[in-house]
Structure 1
Amino acid sequence: MQRVGAQTSAARVDTRDAKLIAKGEYLAKAADCGGCHTAPPGGPSGKEPPHPTAPFAGGLAMGSPFGTIWSSNITPDPVAGIGRYSYDDFERAVREGIAPGNRRLYPAMPFPSFAKINDDDMLALYAYFMHGVAPVSKPAPRTALPFPFNQRWALMFWSVAFAPDDEFVPQSTRSVQWNRGAYLVQSLGHCGACHTPRGPAYEERGYDEQSRRYLTGGTSDHWFAPNLTGDAGSGLGRISNDELVSFLKHGHGGGLATFGSMVQVVEDSTQYLTDDDLRAIAGYLKSLSARESSGHFDDRSHAALRSVRALNTGEVELPGAGIYQGFCARCHKPDGMGEALRYPRLAGNPAVLSAQVDSLVRLLIEGGEAPHTQSGPEPKKMPPFAGKLTDTEMARVLTFVRNAWGNDAPPVTSRDVERIRQSLGK
């Protein structure tokens, strides 16, 4: 898609301007560029001794249904990075997924979302990556997928079929704040890359609120990114705007805490956004009507009163209740309400009520840790239980959690646990 006006403006703009670079730095955080293009402290394999990592130098391994995709070096190094990119090269790579030499990028790079970035923001991003980032001369590992997925030329047909190339257009019937939130969520934030289910060709099932499946939840690497529509069970229907802002800023909000890949998003991206932008994001998400509903919560039901009574009195005849009492109640409490800013509540937790159980199982197997943020609480760790509980015990305690305190969600089976444990090698 050619934007002649943008190309003309780029030729006239001083990309070394400090204000433009600062704006680009903020936008790069909003887009979480560092989250994918910075290797973990343990190096590419994750097994080396911890060492400082170079921002944006690539080397992060990203799992896909087709094999491992390595993130590239996007520092301004002229050989290992993007230092020789013109603005047109940069814009085409970001918006269309085509690097110089007509080299197609895999859709692990969310260029269908980045196509919506406006021209002014694209110029600022280019200025930042050319003049605000330190060059790193070390090449990132090369992606080598098996045949036929190594035939990058075929991605041309994927883009034609599945990748929109239109810039974000504000809706005149909506407020300035709503449009700002929609823009951030749909373009720079590329929230749909995780929170929208994908089809058999790894395509997102929608890129804005006009699509029925948009932001209704998606699975990647055994993490399920929850439903962000207004569903009162597994979505944001019972979460307030202020709680959602706090969640994005501190990793805690409304008794909930981030987990899985969202921890890194808060650490590297959303905690740095302005309060105005966070409120815009929350306002847009809260405007989405409920879709793909799953799970229910009623803390006044007979089942809710029974589970609380059983745990408080020690009468743990319910399957899984004894395991919860022995391993979970100390932090998450007998009433399932957790402890604010320390341990998340399980009662009415949308992630607990989700139809998809991968995240719950993976958390129980591997444990987790809340994000480290500048203004949030000291993060607490959840220990792994892979060596303490059998598949059957994990299934029982998770089934109990999904049906205690008023929660109402389908059971977890030992086969669910076995499948994920085998995939993780644990």
Structure 2
Amino acid sequence: MKKWLLYILMAAVIGLVLAFIIGLLLPQMRTDSSTMQIDIADPALIKQGEYVARTADCVACHTTLEGADYAGGLPMLTPLGAIYSTNITPDKETGIGNYTLADFSNAVKHGVRKDNSALYPAMPYPSYQIMPDDDIAAMYAYFMSAVKPVNQPNLESELPPVFNWRWPLSYWQVLFAPKREFTPESPDSLIARGQYLVEGPGHCGSCHTERGIGFQEIALTNADSDEYLSGAVIDGWRAKSLRGEHRGLGTWNTAELVDFFKTGRTDKTAAFGAMAEVVEHSTQYMTDTDLNAMSAYLKTLTPAPNKEVKLPVKKDETTQKLLDGVYDTRGAILYAEYCQVCHRADGGGVPRIFPALDDNSAVYARNADSVLQITLSGGRMPETPHDRMAFTMPEFSHLSDSDIAEVVNYVRNSWTNQAPMIDTTDVVKMRAFLKKKPTTATDLPPDLTVADSKKGAGNE
């Protein structure tokens, strides 16, 4: 018996050693040896690279509150602990100043560092893989020649032992991030460009597609599955479905999408949470052609499976009661006291200033996390030059759990809205989540600084 146990132990050790060796070799099989020659001082190439970096939204993840651009250190929560974005300035000691073009390309497109170890998939290289080499080269010129070097050491992850090992990540890459190329779904050049931006540099699926058991996106393209871009919960926000059902983009038209991407708001709604950062750092800088392309492509996506293509018509019985001072529920009283002055009795808000609550798909989503989080912690619109001011919503965390549940249910089911009810358990869970969540730029009113805000660890 002891002999068999010894044999089993030896086999386990040998197997672990082999797995370790293979895990070290696998990333090298993903890398490419680029021989492209470029002039990193070429102004036109640098300008192109800056635009590509905007479409890829690099600054949002690699910059902390009040930190230097691209110097890293942004905390990102995972179920196992925090990891931190890295310094991607051209500093030679702590950044990527010693990266060659091939090193840069392998990191961005294939998730392999200069030392041939695998990157955490918080870096959206499964999406970036389809980016053409010319765009990667232009981005390299921008980072090496136009970004200010910042000497800021990278932070170690807070993942527990074993889970913070790099070599097992190479197996994740084999399973969930195979090498692939862009395959357009449509012969229409505008729609194909939009598909590329959404699927590639924009990495929309990173937030708007559900994750599987290995924390992988369950689909990387629309051709993979109609679950692609069908909505997900990330960082406590409900990243809405971008497909054609009623609670997705079924009620949006292309012009509204373009306006939203460019300004962070429409007459009815406004960007909040992580999407506010996307608008502020990325989409507001994109050309009208690219914004139209993305919007046109998104409107081609069919409704997500098992979701209501269209909700039943519901008569508004709320507005008149509020105007008449008929507060027949606790939720109505709370709405009148805290919400009505901005969002109005008809739930229509004020166009481009206070978002509408009625007929706003972000409000009546099946998952109430976004409404709960913004009610408890507040938020602000992204700042762009297209509107004169970015408005802030105050937090209402001082209200009791039962009051929060009452007013959220009231808002989500008044006027023409129809949504599942929540209870105090949902509020308690969101409060617990927010205690652990780091403060981001879009969580703060414009006049607050990091010193005034809470600090913590979070997720890329």
TM-score by length of structure 1 reads 0.92
Structure 1 residues 380, 349: CA separation in 2 closer, same or farther (over 3 Å shift)?
A: same
When Rg is computed on C-alpha atoms for both structures, the one with the higher figure is: 2
In structure 2, C-alpha distance between the alignment counterparts of 1:169 and 1:150, rounded to whole Å: 34
- The residue type paired with residue 399 of structure 1 is N
Q: What residue number does 2:239 align with?
A: 225
In structure 2, C-alpha distance between the alignment counterparts of 1:59 and 1:282, rounded to whole Å: 32
In structure 1, C-alpha distance between the alignment counterparts of 2:178 and 2:358, rounded to whole Å: 39
In structure 2, C-alpha distance between the alignment counterparts of 1:70 and 1:128, rounded to whole Å: 23
Q: What residue number does 2:54 align with?
A: 29
| Structure 2: runs of 5+ lacking an equivalent | 1-29, 437-460
Structure 1 residues 197, 254: CA separation in 2 closer, same or farther (over 3 Å shift)?
A: farther
2:211 counterpart (177, 198, 208)? 198
- The residue type paired with residue 77 of structure 1 is D
Deviation, structure 1 residue 54: 1.2
Q: Is the CA contact 1:195–1:216 (under 8 Å) kept in the aligned structure 2?
A: yes
- The residue type paired with residue 397 of structure 1 is V
Q: What residue number does 2:6 align with?
A: none
Deviation, structure 1 residue 309: 2.1
1:177 counterpart (190, 214, 236)? 190
Q: Is the CA contact 2:267–2:352 (under 8 Å) kept in the aligned structure 1?
A: no
Aligned length: 405
In structure 2, C-alpha distance between the alignment counterparts of 1:204 and 1:414, rounded to whole Å: 31
| Structure 1: runs of 5+ lacking an equivalent | 42-52
In structure 2, C-alpha distance between the alignment counterparts of 1:221 and 1:318, rounded to whole Å: 32
Question: Does residue 1:307 correspond to 2:321, yes or no?
Answer: no
In structure 1, C-alpha distance between the alignment counterparts of 2:122 and 2:202, rounded to whole Å: 14
The 5 A counterparts of 1:25-424 are 25-41=50-66, 53-171=67-185, 173-210=186-223, 211-232=225-246, 234-292=247-305, 293=307, 301-302=314-315, 304=316, 306-387=317-398, 389-424=399-434
Offset from partner CA, 1:381-405 (integer Å, 9 cap, x none):
1110001x11111111111111111
SS of the equivalent of 1:147 reads coil
In structure 2, C-alpha distance between the alignment counterparts of 1:258 and 1:100, rounded to whole Å: 36
SS of the equivalent of 1:252 reads coil
In structure 2, C-alpha distance between the alignment counterparts of 1:165 and 1:144, rounded to whole Å: 29
Taking CA–CA contacts closer than 8 Å with sequence separation of 6 or more, which of the two structures ends up with the larger relative contact order?
Answer: 2
In structure 2, C-alpha distance between the alignment counterparts of 1:90 and 1:39, rounded to whole Å: 22
Deviation, structure 1 residue 167: 2.1
Offset from partner CA, 1:210-237 (integer Å, 9 cap, x none):
22211111112211111111111x2111
Question: Which stretches of structure 1, 4 residues or longer, exceed 6 Å deviation after superposition?
Answer: none
1:15 counterpart (23, 37, 40)? 40
- The residue type paired with residue 383 of structure 1 is P
Q: Is the CA contact 1:295–1:354 (under 8 Å) kept in the aligned structure 2?
A: no
In structure 1, C-alpha distance between the alignment counterparts of 2:267 and 2:104, rounded to whole Å: 40
- The residue type paired with residue 349 of structure 2 is G
In structure 1, C-alpha distance between the alignment counterparts of 2:90 and 2:219, rounded to whole Å: 33
- Structure 1 vs Structure 2 CA RMSD: 1.6
Offset from partner CA, 1:156-207 (integer Å, 9 cap, x none):
1111111132121334x43110011010111100011111111121101111
Deviation, structure 1 residue 150: 0.5
- The residue type paired with residue 76 of structure 1 is P
